[in-house]
Amino acid sequence: MKALSINNLSKTYGNGFKALEQISLDVEQGDFFALLGPNGAGKSTTIGVVTSLITKTSGTVNVFDTDLDENAELAKSYIGLVPQEFNFNGFEQVKHILITQAGYYGMPASDAEPRANELLKQLGLWEKRHTPSRALSGGMKRRLMIARALVHKPKLLILDEPTAGVDIELRRSMWTFLRRINKEGTTIILTTHYLEEAENLCRNIAIIDKGEIVENTDMKSLLNRLDKETFVLDLKYPLLQTIELYGLDYHHVDDTTIEVELSRGDSLNSIFELLSKHGVEVVSMKNKVNRLEELFLNLVETTEQAS
Amino acid sequence: MNQTRRQRHWIAFSTLVTREIRRFFRIWPQTILPPAITMTLYFIIFGNLIGSRIGEMGGFSYMEYIVPGIIMMAVINNAYSNVASSFFSAKFQNHIEELIVAPIPNYLILAGYVAGGTARGLCVGVIVTLVSLFFTHLPIEHIAITISMVILSAILFALGGFINAIYARSFDEISLVPTFILTPLTYLGGVFYSISLLPEFWQNVSLLNPILYMVNAFRFGMLGVSDIPVVAAFSIILLFIVLLTSFALYLLNKGTGLRN
């Protein structure tokens, strides 16, 4: 079953800005899905439409086979949202925020109280349960937003840049927590600027740019496309002529720097052997930025050129 | 979720109302205390000091005559400002998103806020009534009319506060209506005088003021005297409630001021 199915979704804002143009996207139940894109690409608009915070211009959204237009109540009950910005009442106590949110989803107080306690303990907020939310640290506020999104036991958790501005230690502990709830059955959709985060956590990925999906595949296939790695070699002496490196692609960056592309699985020794044969001495070598970041930039640049 | 839809709706509604009531009790020095003090001053100054020189009005002492109007004024102002400030704060702090993403129909969001505003209006109304007992005897001639009129008035002005908050883009804009419309209409709505004292032209102009109907119908419930027919008052208030409810729901469904 699809946890989320978006078809031909478009959104044009009142000022004429087209934030989304006919995007379609499927997320399977149980998936850990990344939605990536540069600033202003349409990630938050997509999430806004799915969570009813933004009115769409056209298209359909189905959550666990429930059309958001036809049965909004049921569709909304499946979703938990962790928004990008803090959005709770700063004067309300932490525990009240959770119990109130549970109530909005029709959860009786007898169930909401133990559920709130459980989440407060799991997310390290138990000691702060009677504290007004405005007095929490930034990291605690992030965790409170996760707790609030989970209090009604949603089947689909959507996190809009949940680790923005969070220190490394907290980010890692949030990853562990999210992996666990995903393993327990919650489908997770994540938008992030940290590509390392998407690579570490997510099984499937969509890349959105200028309101269009430019890539939608599984993380493994995407990364496998990086069957070539590029190494930057600094040479001791200028290399002024073209040399034959027998099957290896290379190009000059400047007189003393070349970039060599190596297929995955090829030995690095082959580079040095071939270069030695031509009397070329290598002073240092580094791996050019690669993996998801490189793919991401390639995809985004491609769409820029196309437009 | 094993409950029926109706049970879930009831839980959501009561959660919202509880949150609203908890909010105005949490900040009671801003919400409960000031109207109690202000109205006490009205009783002392207008009722005791000035009223003793005015004499009777409508067959009652001036203090007795103004008490229903002052209670109604407190109810109207507090019902209005509670919803206006609470809903606008929710927009301002973005925690209105908690409600928008939740499976709550718009009519329940409206009902929850209006119930919260009505609760504060009635709470302040009870306090002002108790304070008034220190100054005068308070007969209640028609209890059903008294109670229903005060509740309907609170609902009507809570709806007004809700619509104000939907359109408001700053805290200044939620104080514009109370300052420039609500307060003048209240003062000219027969709280402190009977419109029979006015020239005929101004009597007719006063009939365009909806607050006049509320104050007089409430006064009729308490004292048994009114400048206007009570049936007309109920009809007008019910009509306004229907109109404002429809308009507020239209704005909510459209997402005005809430959704892009």
3-class DSSP assignment, residue A36:
strand
Does A16 contact chain B (CB < 8 Å)? Answer: no
Does B19 contact chain A (CB < 8 Å)? Answer: yes
pLDDT of residue A192: 83
Residue, of B153 and A288, whose pLDDT is higher: B153
How large is the C-alpha radius of gyration of chain A?
24
3-class DSSP assignment, residue B255:
coil
Interface contact flag, A55 B260, Cβ < 8 Å: yes
pLDDT of residue A243: 73
Strongest mean pLDDT among A192-206, B25-39, B52-66: B25-39
Residues of A in contact with B99 (CB under 8 A): 104
**Mean pLDDT on B11-20:** 97
Does B104 contact chain A (CB < 8 Å)? Answer: yes
**Mean pLDDT on B61-83:** 94
pLDDT of residue A307: 57
CA distance A36 to chain B (A): 22
> Which of B6, B13, B15, B92 to mutate: most A Cβ within 10 Å?
B15
Does A13 contact chain B (CB < 8 Å)? Answer: yes
Residues of A in contact with B97 (CB under 8 A): 53, 81, 83, 87
Does any domain span residue B118?
yes
Residue B139 has pLDDT above 90, yes or no: no
Burial of B236 (0-12, 13-18, 19+ CB in 10 A): middle
pLDDT of residue A303: 62
Q: Which residue of A has its CA nearest to B10?
A: A106
Cα gap B41→B57, rounded to integer Å: 20
Residue B226 has pLDDT above 80, yes or no: yes
What is the number of domains present in chain B? Answer: 1
Does B15 contact chain A (CB < 8 Å)? Answer: yes
What is the C-alpha end-to-end distance of chain B, expressed in Å? 31
Closest residue by Cα to residue B69 from B178, B183, B182, B218: B218
Domain that holds residue B160: 5-254
For residue A8, give the H/E element and its range: strand A2-12
Does any domain span residue B79?
yes
Does B253 contact chain A (CB < 8 Å)? Answer: no
Residues of B in contact with A116 (CB under 8 A): none
pLDDT of residue A255: 85
> Which of B10, B14, B95, B101 to mutate: most A Cβ within 10 Å?
B101
Six-digit token string for A41: 């690409």
Does A73 contact chain B (CB < 8 Å)? Answer: yes
Does A77 contact chain B (CB < 8 Å)? Answer: yes
Model ipTM value: 0.89
Does any domain span residue B259?
no
Residues of B in contact with A53 (CB under 8 A): 97, 100-101, 259-260
Residues of B in contact with A72 (CB under 8 A): 103
Interface contact flag, A103 B5, Cβ < 8 Å: no
**For a pLDDT cut of 90, what percent of chain B falls above it?**
67
Residue B43 has pLDDT above 60, yes or no: yes
CA distance A78 to chain B (A): 9
Does B137 contact chain A (CB < 8 Å)? Answer: no
Residue, of A278 and B92, whose pLDDT is higher: B92
Q: For chain A, which domains are there?
A: 2-223 (3.40.50.300), 227-289 (3.30.70.1560)
pLDDT per residue of chain A (307 residues) written in tens, 0 to 9: 899 999 999 999 988 999 999 999 999 999 999 999 888 889 999 999 999 999 999 999 999 999 999 999 999 999 999 998 899 999 999 999 999 999 999 999 999 999 999 999 999 999 999 999 999 998 899 999 999 999 999 999 999 988 877 788 888 888 999 999 999 999 999 998 777 788 889 999 999 988 999 889 888 887 777 667 778 889 888 887 777 776 677 888 888 888 888 776 777 887 888 888 888 888 988 877 556 666 676 676 666 666 5
Does any domain span residue B260?
no
> Which of A104, A107, A115, A141 to mutate: most B Cβ within 10 Å?
A104
Does A72 contact chain B (CB < 8 Å)? Answer: yes
| Interchain CB contacts (distance < 8 Å): A and B | 91
DSSP A212-272: EEEEEEEHHHHHHT--EEEEEEEESS---S----TT-EEEEEETTEEEEEEETT--HHHHH
The residues in A 134-193 lying below 8 A from B, measured between CB atoms, are: 148
Does any domain span residue B199?
yes
pLDDT of residue A51: 96
The residues in A 82-121 lying below 8 A from B, measured between CB atoms, are: 83, 85-92, 96, 100-101, 103-108
Residues of B in contact with A159 (CB under 8 A): none
Q: Which of B15, B89, B105 sits opposite A103 (nearest CB)?
A: B15
Interface contact flag, B1 A77, Cβ < 8 Å: yes
Q: Mean pLDDT over all residues of chain B?
A: 92
Six-digit token string for A100: 């109130």
CA distance B92 to chain A (A): 9
CA angle B100, B101, B107 (to 5 degrees): 40
Does B16 contact chain A (CB < 8 Å)? Answer: yes
Residues of A in contact with B16 (CB under 8 A): 103-104
Residues of B in contact with A81 (CB under 8 A): 97, 101
Residue B198 has pLDDT above 80, yes or no: yes
Cα gap A123→A115, rounded to integer Å: 12
Closest residue by Cα to residue B158 from B39, B42, B255, B240: B240
Does any domain span residue B172?
yes
Residue B101 CB neighbour total at 10 angstroms: 24
Residue B16 has pLDDT above 90, yes or no: yes
Residues of B in contact with A76 (CB under 8 A): 101-103
Residues of A in contact with B95 (CB under 8 A): 87-89
Interface contact flag, A88 B98, Cβ < 8 Å: yes
Does any domain span residue B127?
yes
Residue B63 has pLDDT above 80, yes or no: yes
